[in-house]
Structure 1
Amino acid sequence: MEGLSKSPEDMNAYQESLKIKRDNYSALESAELRGEQRGIEIGAEQEKREMAREMLAGGEPLEKIARYSKLSITEIQALV
């Protein structure tokens, strides 16, 4: 079983390759989570704007739409 033992240099290289793989995996997971969070934020913004459009179409006052949608009056006026 002489061929199975590794030199210290080989072990260090192996450990370094494992570290790189773990770091890459971690970076990818982090990027995926950021992308998912960004998608959720974009979706929430779209929902706010859709709600504001519906309220505008229903004749609701701008102040009420702003209060419920959390959009500014300027943002609401831009939807028209």
Structure 2
Amino acid sequence: MNAYQESLKIKRDNYSALESAELRGEQRGQKQGIEIGAEQEKREMARELKKEGLSIDLIARTTKLSVEEIQTLI
């Protein structure tokens, strides 16, 4: 009976560890996705501001992108 109880405990511990790891992975993935989306949004905003004729320096200060990166945008 003790061996059975111990095996159940091990099984539950392993399951709990796996669930925790999956949750941490999902949270990391969501955070990375948000960061990537924010960078894409900055580039799109910089592209639009550049089309409107705003200065590169002003766009760089507004979007926190580098001047070099803004210059490469179409």
Q: Report TM bin, short chain.
A: over 0.9
Out of 11, 20, 36, the residue aligned to residue 17 of structure 1 is 11
Q: Partners in 1 of 2:20 and 2:53 — Cα distance?
A: 50
Equivalent position amino acid for 1:73 in 2: V
What is the RMSD computed on CA atoms of the aligned residues? 0.6
- In structure 2, how many angstroms separate the alpha carbons of the residues matched to 1:53 and 1:8? 67
Counterparts of residues 13-52 of structure 1 (less than 5 Å): 13-52=7-46
Q: Counterparts in 2 of 1:51-66, with a 5 A limit?
A: 51-66=45-60
TM-score normalised according to structure 2 size: 0.96
The one-letter code of the counterpart of 1:23 is: A
Structure exhibiting the larger radius of gyration computed from Cα positions: 1
The alignment's TM-score, normalised by the length of structure 1, stands at: 0.90
After superposition, the C-alpha distances for 1:18-72 in whole angstroms (9 at most, x for unaligned) are: 0000000000000000011111001100110001000100000010000001000
- Aligned pairs, number: 74
Equivalent residue, structure 2, for 1:4 = none
Percent sequence identity over aligned pairs: 43
SS of the equivalent of 1:42 reads helix
**Where do 5+ consecutive residues of structure 1 fail to align?**
1-6
Structure 2, gaps ≥5 residues long: none
